[in-house]
């Protein structure tokens, strides 16, 4: 699977919930094979948080932002994260995440100072430590919302379209079909 396809798959649900990226049907269309990679890349670059993280990981590892290993590092974690230093992560927050429509300069500095040493630019870090940079979601003390946003484990037990059931650790869940 290509890096852009992986980015689209992981970004689809947060996007449809209105948390990340432009509100469009293009991710779903790309996943369904209705758009080309060249057509989806400009959309993936509009993800205000994910794409700058891809860039940071890529720069530290001499790779391209939408390389499969880079996208995997952000969403799932892998060895590429080991080359990221906390200072670079803080700089990302006070630089790239500090602009109109995102964090104020004061808020960016405050959040950057709170980042624990050895933090890594991973999706779970973003959700659980940094939180929303657009103001579209308030994660403050909202464990259920954080659970919706974080990547978790599940096991596909059978496929029964249109709603394949999943067995989740700690309970039952359902993955809705693409609409």
Share of the chain above pLDDT 90, in %: 39
Residue 36: asked if its preceding bond is cis (omega within 30°), the reply is no
Interval 79-99: pLDDT, tens? 999 999 999 999 998 998 888
Count the neighbouring beta carbons within 10 Å of the beta carbon of residue 127.
Answer: 22
**169: confidence class by pLDDT, cuts 50, 70, 90:** low
pTM here is 0.77
Residue corresponding to tokens 């996007």: 15
β-bridge mates for residue 83, sequence order: none
Domain ranges, ordered by start, for the chain: 3-146
pLDDT in tens, 143-157: 555 555 666 667 767
Cα gap 174→64, rounded to integer Å = 34
């Amino acid at each position: 699977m290509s890096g852009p396809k992986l980015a689209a798959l992981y970004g689809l649900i947060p996007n449809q919930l209105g948390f990340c990226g432009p509100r469009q049907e293009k991710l779903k269309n790309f996943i369904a094979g209705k758009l080309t990679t060249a057509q989806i890349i400009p959309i993936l670059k509009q993800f205000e948080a994910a794409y700058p993280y891809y860039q940071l990981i890529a720069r530290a590892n001499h790779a391209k932002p939408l390389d499969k290993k880079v996208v995997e590092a952000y969403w799932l974690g892998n060895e590429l994260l080991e080359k990221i230093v906390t200072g670079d992560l803080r700089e990302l927050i006070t630089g790239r995440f500090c602009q109109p429509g995102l964090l104020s300069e004061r808020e960016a500095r405050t959040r950057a100072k709170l980042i624990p040493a050895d933090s890594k630019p991973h999706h779970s870090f973003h959700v659980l430590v940094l939180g929303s940079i657009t103001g579209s979601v308030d994660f403050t003390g909202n464990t259920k919302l954080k659970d919706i946003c974080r990547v978790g484990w599940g096991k596909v037990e059978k496929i029964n379209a249109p709603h394949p059931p999943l067995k989740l650790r700690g309970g039952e869940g359902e993955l809705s079909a693409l609409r």
